[in-house]
Amino acid sequence: MVSHRCSKCRWFDHQHESLNDVPDNFGYCRKHKPMVYQIERRFYGAWPLVDVNDLCGEFRLDEDGG
């Protein structure tokens, strides 16, 4: 049985250089466009950070092996 966790999903990206300072169990969900975040008076755009053990209804198996 396939585990429908982010770590096995085709949309999960844990290798982007901007994740160098982020713990290994996190990565970006690239299923949808980046979200806009506001911190104090500044705005930032980024893909949502997800845990390797998270899951959602958009899961698609990464058949290339990730």
Note the pLDDT tens digit of each residue in 11-58.
Answer: 999 999 989 999 999 999 999 899 999 999 999 999 999 999 998 888
Structure confidence at residue 42 (pLDDT): 96
Domain membership of residue 1 as a residue range = 1-66
pLDDT value for 11: 93
Indicate the number of domains in the chain. Answer: 1
Q: Per-residue confidence at 64, pLDDT binned at 50, 70, 90?
A: confident
Residue 2: its pLDDT value, please? 59
Q: What residues have CB less than 8 Å from 2, skipping those under 6 apart?
A: 8, 61
Contact between 28 and 16 under an 8 Å Cβ cutoff? The reply is yes
Q: Residue 53 in 3-state DSSP? A: coil
User: How far apart (Å, rounded) are the C-alpha atoms in residues 29 and 57?
Assistant: 12
